[in-house]
Structure 1
Amino acid sequence: MTTATAMGQALAAGDTTSTHLAAVAVDRARQSDSTAVLVTVTAERAGYQAAAADRRRLRGTRRGPLDGVPIAWKDVFDIQGTVTTSGSAGHLHDEPAAVDSRLVRRAHDSGLVTIGKTNLSEFAFSGLGINLHFGTPANPVDPELVPGGSSSGSAVAVARGIVPLAVGTDTSGSVRVPAAYCGIIGYRASPGRYGANDFAPLSSTLDSTGILATSVNDIIALDRIFAPMRRGEHTPRRRFVVPGGEWTEDVTPGIAADFEAALAEIRRAGADIRRRDMVSLSAAQELMDGGGTIVGAEAYRLHRHRLGSGLPIEPATRRRLESNSRTADSIAPVYAGMSALRAEFAAELDGAALLCPTVRHPPPRLADLRDPAGYDSANAATLRTTMVLSYLGTCGITLPVGASAGGPVTGLLLSLPSGRDGDLLAQAEWARHIFVNARTS
């Protein structure tokens, strides 16, 4: 019962109880090696939610296929009675949330059991997942490697089996990157798919919700709860575009080998894969290289008051904010070009999905990031692919693909224009089935 779907089926059959599943999850969350994974463990809430789920099952009134299944939330979502820290010591003494965030309530209404709130990079403003105050969640693949961020705790909680589902946010890659680094599946929904964001923001223009799991079916099941009016059957078109240029060429040899092996599996299964340069992708990257990033400009606008205050702030966060102090003077062309480039990107794909490596290099080693320059360079390189795809408004999902030469599992990223989430999830389900069959045959 490693997946949410399997847990739901076992609960429906009476083979286990939600109370048992919740108790196991809480116990795992409280282990000494989990202290940096979850910022808050909501054991009491989990207990009464699980007991209620068990009563519904006995009455034959289950609220859906995930009723009674454990879930965890990135600590940017409000959970009633807990402090929302956004991964920062500067929020430790804030007032506890008076009510749940809307998606937390929606999950509760469908019977999911909240285990707690997961750790993250401070203010969700880094792709590495390092947190100096709450600790850095240990990458289950290798504790010497970064877990990826900013949704580091959410990815590690799923990869370690504390919960089968976790919710994060993704602005520049904050779900897709840690999922790839931890060897699981990470889905970035189209901005607005679940309504207006009601989590602590980083960039109101680019913020989106994401889901982390080990099964595409689990993500589809939770997506149906979060977006109940968007249900429908989608048939994968099995048409893909592989972009030329830095997105597939500026990668390490191991990443390149894994990517080509994944393409070969997809092609053998009957997919149409075309390689070509994407003008919109190159133009978007050139704009950001010249004018800066929207997330940098908006993060500075949101948090600049902290720089001259006595509020605690991590050195790396301070450096990123200070480096964006002049971005407001150069960012206007980046905003101005966004709408046309998004339309051009959709036209260039012409219904196909974009395929590329999620990250261009393996997870950096923590020991190699002690130097500020090395840290900042690694952070920028880690987010370079996912950041430009966020700017282009894509929904995206990263799937784990085989490890070359004994290295870490890497990610294959499928992306489609905003609003094409149903097609994306159908494509991902098909591709994941292909990869699983290839490994077991």
Structure 2
Amino acid sequence: MKEHLLRNRNFSFMFTGRILSNMGDSIYYVAAMWLVYELGGSAFYTGLAGFLTMLPTVLQFLIGPLVDRFSTKKLLTYVQLLQGCLILMIPVAHFIGYLNVAVILTIMPVVSMMNQFTYPAQTAALPRIIKKEQLVKGNALFTFAYQGVDMVFNALTGILLPLIGAITLFMMDSAVFLAAALLYSALRLPEKKSTPKRTLKESTLQYKKELAEGVMIVFRSYLAIFLVASIVANGAIGATYAILPVYTGESAGASWYGWYLGAISLGLLSGAALAPILTRFPLGLLTIALFFLGGGSWIFSGFSGVSIMGAVLFGLAWLPIGATNIITGAAIQSILPSHLMGRVFSVVASMSAMAMPLGSLLGGSMADRWGSATIFIVAAGAIVFISIFWLSVSKLRRLPSTHELSAEDLHLPENSHSTNIG
């Protein structure tokens, strides 16, 4: 099935483009966070950098209606071009003698904002280019590209940082985004249904209507219950990303920062690889078991310190996140009408990620007071919380396997033209 998917021209082009986009994101994020740590010398600055980088994710729900309306090909192409140009500004600032923490903290959120168009556009396009029964494997391959590239290039960037420096990495990164733009420009996607031309006022009213519809669908369905646990967990994850350069750098250095980021990607990638197998189990019980084991692994990692064992245990803690993201995402894709994909997924992404910027800012601030190792272990408790929360909510605990999951189970509109959810 994977070979068949990769023979699909549009899927293979988008898959390769995703690899290049994620390669660019990995290089940029690791290099930028480490440069902020070097220039600022404090966990507060890395926390602030994480806050500013993650903040645009909260606004992703505003992008959903735009993704549903505009050309996926143009969106993906132009976003990559803009990111490449923005990232090139950092080496330029360095060469003219104006590079400082403020410059990086200004560019990071703008690049992140551009990136918010990429994943909803790809998610919304996937059901249009592959068959319904291929969605789990298609999403697994996309996640493999995402996390596999992250795993390799997070670690590789950490290794290259002391060898060639962050500035050289930023110049290479700009070229990677240009290559991704060229690849996306070669896509031949099925045309979306044409919409009548509207005045600016009519377009604004329609945008508000579609935006409200996405919010309504999420909060009238059981997706709203999913979000409770996700918000708590993402706050802890945001704090972890913020303190990770300090946690590893204080005792090991840039290379260990890369290895720990690589461990995250390896855990997520392993979960994605297992997702097609795990779909046979009831979603509720599966989530409870996986997150309990993952949270325990993270706690033991914290007590192991920065080491090979600590990195392995830390990576295992991310396996349930990778698996359940794929399984639930594919299930929702198979249930929702295609014209609602962008707005619903962007609302879910925005709401679930809203705690990450705050977690990053608070994590960086608290690490200066209590130490990064303490924050690292406390954050693990949020993963255990997901298990406990799902166990305590009968609607979640009793969810069947994704093969048996229906729109009624999640109180979502069925894959038809109707959007009435009662």
| Superposed pair shares fold, TM > 0.5 | no
Greater RCO between the two (CA within 8 Å, min separation 6)? 2
TM-score normalised by structure 1 residue count:
0.28
* Greater share of residues in helix: 2
TM-score normalised by structure 2 residue count:
0.29
